[in-house]
Structure 1
Amino acid sequence: MIIGGERESHNGKLKVNQIKVSLDAYQSFMKKFDIELFLPIRYVKSGQDIESILNMPWNEGDEQLECVLSKNYLEADGSVSFSEEAIIQYFEEFAFQTAEKVIMKLLII
């Protein structure tokens, strides 16, 4: 089991790598390897709720790794623009095929 901290909404902001289709795709991909991707805070929308869970201040984006998809889908005005179909296509035709090849090579060692 892998425990992830991804959430579908961040105080109303969307992150392409954490919308429903993305999180569903990650979970489906992990099942190929008989691994459960557990997302216990997937539906927690509020940063204040995260702070309550952690019992400490939480500044989103601080002390975290960056995502390869981070902000590359923002329009000039800062609005979010994306196509769910394009995201699914990216996962199916590139990201997951590449990841699976790497994982299979590592498992053969």
Structure 2
Amino acid sequence: EGLAVGEIAGRDSVAAIIKVCETHNIDAVLPTIVYTGTEYGDWSSPLRNIEFLKNALGQSYTVFEPVFLGNPELWAALSGKYATVIAQEFGVYSPCLACHLYMHLCRMPLAKALDNAPIISGERDSHQGVIKLSQTPLGIDASVEVLAYAGIELLLPIRRMEDNAEIRRLVGPDWEQGQRQLECVLSGNYTDLDTGVVCDQVAHRRYLDEFLIPSGKAVVDAWRTHGGVDYSQIVKDVLMGIVGSRA
């Protein structure tokens, strides 16, 4: 009781943990750092962000040593291997679309082992008007649904905070968005030459409803019933069901 699994990445993830500790009955946080295989930059930054969190929360809260998590085979199945099929079937594709669900899924077995501890995430519907395909409102809803299917609550305390000033209130004025975090080699892959976001909303919803949510739930089911899991086959089966339904 009082324990949550915390997402550690950049500023928003730390702000989210601080906010949850202000508003929920949480007095202990287990920080987790999930890798995808696409990161580069200062690998000590997540660890420094954990130290920042410890100092911000003070001695009234326990912040445990971090757990590093990752499953490249799962990331490849959701975001990489079937890119052409996804683009052809749904008319929309970006590796970012499934990335945050991947990260939540990586944390899910740990949360289950900790008596269904909630997971704290710093996802936001909008970042001062900037849209990210990894954090669309529909995509966040999809992650909530998949984790709920697994019996895990996804806490999103800063989801509605569009104004960065609210984030600065939590972490202080000296931490700007995008600072003190790892970079991704795929960053900005879904923008046009004017940096506008290119994504058809109808296609996006269909991608989530027919592909990503069923794939996430199928992974949860496989973890419940199998020791070894073939993620590529799980995702392929979902796609085969979609393609076969039109035949």
Of Structure 1 and Structure 2, which has the larger fraction of its residues in helix? Answer: 2
Q: Please report how far the alpha carbon of residue 75 of structure 1 lies from its aligned counterpart in structure 2 after TM superposition.
A: 1.2
Cα 1:15–1:52 shift into 2, 3 Å:
same
Distance 1:22 1:80 in 2: 15
Match of 2:164 among 39, 47, 59: 47
| 2:123–2:159 Cα contact (<8 Å) kept | yes
**Alignment gaps of 5+ in structure 2:** 1-117, 228-247
Once superposed, which parts of structure 1, at least 4 consecutive aligned residues long, lie more than 4 Å away?
64-68
Partner of 1:26: 143
Distance 1:45 1:64 in 2: 22
Larger strand proportion of the pair: 2
Determine which of 183, 188, 213 is the counterpart of 1:96.
Answer: 213
What does residue 195 of structure 2 align with?
A: 78
Distance 1:99 1:38, change over 3 A: same
- Of 49-58 and 7-16, more deviation after overlay is shown by 49-58
* Counterpart residue number, 2:67: none
Distance apart, 1:105 and its partner CA: 3.2
Q: Indicate the residue corresponding to 2:204 in structure 1.
A: 87
Output the aligned Cα RMSD: 2.5
Kept after mapping to 2: 8 A contact 1:30/1:37? yes
How far apart in 1 are the matches of 2:168 and 2:137?
23
Deviation at 1:8, TM superposition (A): 1.0
Instruction: Point out the structure with max Rg over C-alpha.
Output: 2
Q: Which residue matches 2:124?
A: 7
Normalising by structure 2, what TM-score? 0.38
Q: 1:67 to 1:13 in 2, by over 3 A?
A: farther
Cα contact 2:125–2:137 (8 A) shared by 1: yes
